[in-house]
């Protein structure tokens, strides 16, 4: 299995806005409930800190 792991610091500004847009767009297109998706995102951000 191959993973795309292009990770970089987002911070604030345009990159952060783009990330929020991407995540929101991704969650609303998938069958994954939004609350489950955001819980997963919160966990990932917490683990990276």
Confidence of residue 49 (pLDDT cuts 50, 70, 90): low
What pLDDT does 1 receive? Answer: 62
The DSSP symbol for 30 reads S
Tokens of 6: 């292009």
Domain assignment present for residue 26? The answer is yes
Residue with tokens 């299995």: 1
CA distance 31 to 14: 28
Q: Which range marks the domain in which residue 34 is found? A: 14-48
Domain assignment present for residue 4? The answer is no
Average the pLDDT over 13-27 and give the result.
82
Q: 3-state DSSP call for residue 32?
A: coil
Residue with tokens 């969650």: 27
Domain assignment present for residue 3? The answer is no
Domain assignment present for residue 2? The answer is no
Tally the domains of the chain: 1
Tokens of 45: 């951000």
User: Cβ contacts of residue 41 below 8 Å, gap of 6+?
Assistant: 23
């Amino acid at each position: 299995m191959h993973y795309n792991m292009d990770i970089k610091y987002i911070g604030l500004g345009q990159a952060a806005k783009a990330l929020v847009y991407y995540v929101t767009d991704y969650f609303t297109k998938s069958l994954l409930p939004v609350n489950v998706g955001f819980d997963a995102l919160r966990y990932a951000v917490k683990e990276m800190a």
